[in-house]
Structure 1
Amino acid sequence: MLVPPHKAPRSHLSHPKPGLHLYRNPNNTLCGGGLPSVKTLEPLAMVHTPAATVPIPPTSEDSHEAMQASGRSIHEEHVRSMEAVWHGEFSKLFSQFYPHLWYLIPSPAAPSPRWYRFRDSAKVRFSCQQCGNGWTSMKGRVIFWYYLNPQGVPVPEGYLHFKLYGQQCKRCKNGRFEMAMWYPEEVVKVLGNVYNRVGQTYYGFYQPPLRQDRRPGKPRTQHNAELCQACKDGECTNAH
């Protein structure tokens, strides 16, 4: 259960401040409103939609090209869906810290060792962009780093950086980490958890219980640490 310190005015919730948005600048990099561009970002994860997740294997060069084109289209659609879900849930939760402004920013690493850190896990799905192989993992990982700058002008500003971890395809083993497709309910869960943690750190929330439930599922294969980006970074144990 979320425990906000107070409710924001309805006008603020209906018209979120610029800092509650993700922006894409002309260089196709993402940044928070009013912040410098982040030029070395990890790819964003995708939100899972059940239709057309795994392309049919090709039977000719033409069909292979068609599959790649279809895969790119599906990939772009997932990215747009992902941005909408993450942005929408973030805005709904963090606008409750009004009048403080909070920014959601993808990041490849911790902005500073002084920032607070929160790690969470979720059930996610992957689809190889090269061969179409699909698989599910109960060990999807996200790392959040957060900091509230009390000297923000005209009001204090908070920054929530995050990194979404990928996995390699066991068929291709090409060294490329595929982006995770996040289920919307898992996005709601992890953002709710980090919202409560931020509230506990800066806004006097009582320590709330963290949601550790995950979408039901039984992956067909065991977790392979050699193919897991979070394992390679030492982030794939004890989700919190």
Structure 2
Amino acid sequence: MVVFNGPIACMPSPPLTLWTASLPTSPCPLLSPLPSVSPQSSSHCSSLAPSPTTTYPTLPIATPLSLPHLNYGSSVVIRPTPWNQSYGMEQVWLSEFHRLFSNYYQQVWILQPVEHKPIANRSMHTFVDSAKVRFCCDKCGHGWTSMKGRVVFWFDLLSPYYSNGFVAFKLYGQQCDRCKTDGYEQAMWYPEEVCKVLTNLYNKVGQLFYGFYQPPIEKTRRSGKPRTPHNSDLCQACKDGLCVDRK
């Protein structure tokens, strides 16, 4: 359970959830460098079976939170979205995120899926990663594999005293090439791919805020040979200009 050093405002759910949270104007002072994590150290995650009684850091959907601030005039506006992960995969995301980011004991880091890029008074850090994923059309049942499953993370430290870290992320979908409906199908992620991208994110955060030196970025994907080439016309990430090489 995440504990905030400030009030939690319970108000009627608006279309947008406003986080009044100060963003630092400069990188936080390094308290002590922490070791980076090798992607191989997360190889066990395919067998993750988190206890149903375990609570991981996350934000309740449609619960506006007022975070403590120091009147810096900065704010973050997010539109939370449900996890919508097949087979309880949200527990893999949360448990692996908690396992990694609990190493940053100076701060409490929060992971939250969002519908759109957060709106902030200053640019948040962005990290784009790729993975092999599966899709299944809800309408016709057609299934396919993609080696270009995209996830985008937006992250930063929140004030005061840089006591909280916030990670918003979006899993991008694809359209069915048979139905070609307006909506996008949700990607089904493999556990080892979840662990890979979260390890990469952990090392990227470590490089920016905790003194990591050239952290390893794992670029390999689960083996596979999709039957058809990537179709940018059906890719949500392509339409948002994010289906490019890892940043």
Measure the CA separation in 1 of the matches of 2:203 and 2:90: 21
List gaps (5 residues or longer) in structure 2. Answer: 1-34, 38-53, 69-76
Aligned residue pairs, count: 187
Query: What residue in structure 2 maps to residue 110 of structure 1?
Result: 118
Question: Structure 1 residues 222 and 102, CA, compared in 2 at 3 Å: closer, same or farther?
Answer: same
Measure the CA separation in 2 of the matches of 1:101 and 1:207: 24
2:170 pairs with 1:134: no
Query: What residue in structure 1 maps to residue 128 of structure 2?
Result: 119
TM, length-normalised to structure 2 = 0.69
Displacement after TM superposition at 1:179 (Å): 0.3
2:181 pairs with 1:174: yes
SS at match of 2:169: strand
Question: Which contiguous aligned blocks of 4+ residues in structure 1 show a shift greater than 4 angstroms?
Answer: 29-35
Query: What residue in structure 2 maps to residue 13 of structure 1?
Result: none
Query: What residue in structure 2 maps to residue 233 of structure 1?
Result: 240
2:57 counterpart (18, 21, 26): 21
Displacement after TM superposition at 1:109 (Å): 1.0
Aligned residues: CA RMSD: 2.6
2:12 pairs with 1:3: no
Report if aligned partners of 2:184, 2:236 keep a CA contact under 8 Å in 1. Answer: yes
Measure the CA separation in 2 of the matches of 1:163 and 1:30: 19
Question: Structure 1 residues 203 and 32, CA, compared in 2 at 3 Å: closer, same or farther?
Answer: farther
Question: Structure 1 residues 43 and 137, CA, compared in 2 at 3 Å: closer, same or farther?
Answer: farther
Displacement after TM superposition at 1:30 (Å): 7.5
Render the CA deviation track for 1:211-231: whole Å, top value 9, x for unaligned.
001000000011111100000
Measure the CA separation in 1 of the matches of 2:64 and 2:220: 31
Question: Structure 1 residues 147 and 213, CA, compared in 2 at 3 Å: closer, same or farther?
Answer: same
Query: What residue in structure 1 maps to residue 163 of structure 2?
Result: 156
SS at match of 2:102: helix
Measure the CA separation in 2 of the matches of 1:237 and 1:110: 20
Query: What residue in structure 2 maps to residue 208 of structure 1?
Result: 215
Measure the CA separation in 2 of the matches of 1:31 and 1:192: 29
List gaps (5 residues or longer) in structure 1. Answer: 5-16, 47-77
Give runs of aligned pairs for residues 26-105 of structure 1, distance below 5 A: 29=62, 40-42=79-81, 44=83, 46=85, 78=86, 81-105=88-112
Question: Structure 1 residues 232 and 191, CA, compared in 2 at 3 Å: closer, same or farther?
Answer: same
